Structure 1
């Protein structure tokens, strides 16, 4: 996998559910590169934000099937990671 952390972490996911998890439990959700492993994600978060990561949970979401005039097209596969930080640490997203 790419060693540069900028290519592993694409963007933070800011939904109502992820914001509640961030405020209550200290869990942050990021959209990550599809080929990134949990170790890659952990190292990227620690180097970019300077925090200690306790746990990484990943999930892969299949692309939706879209109907067009000439047939069907599938969107790209997305991978997201939920990261739990050590006690008392936080990330300033905004």
Structure 2
């Protein structure tokens, strides 16, 4: 699997921004469900040219969604997705995400 296929998108929220600005640089990414932490670490290293110290992977459960429209109310869930929290080595940053 290629590196650009492993990482889907960065997760940008208030909580991830605070983790990114802390002393330990932690970046969160939405990744493919069938990828493992070693593939994710290699993909971050290859795509952004940084040294990865650690990687934690978790599955985020989908949320319930309700919709009321012309056809009546629809009940369903969003899909589950996998999130990776990558800790970089001291002194490394990912410039593509820092400006966002």
Q: TM-score, normalised by structure 1?
A: 0.88
Q: Give ranges in structure 1 of 5+ residues lacking alignment.
A: none
Equivalent positions of 1:15-94 (< 5 A) are 15-24=13-22, 25-68=24-67, 69=72, 71-92=74-95, 93=97, 94=99
Regions of 4+ moved over 4 Å? none
Q: Secondary structure at the match of 1:81?
A: strand
Which of these two proteins has the greater Rg computed from alpha carbons? 2
Following superposition, the deviation at residue 53 of structure 1 comes to: 0.5
Q: Give ranges in structure 2 of 5+ residues lacking alignment.
A: none
Partner of residue 7, structure 1: 5
Following superposition, the deviation at residue 65 of structure 1 comes to: 2.2
Q: TM-score, normalised by structure 2?
A: 0.83
Q: How many residues align?
A: 92
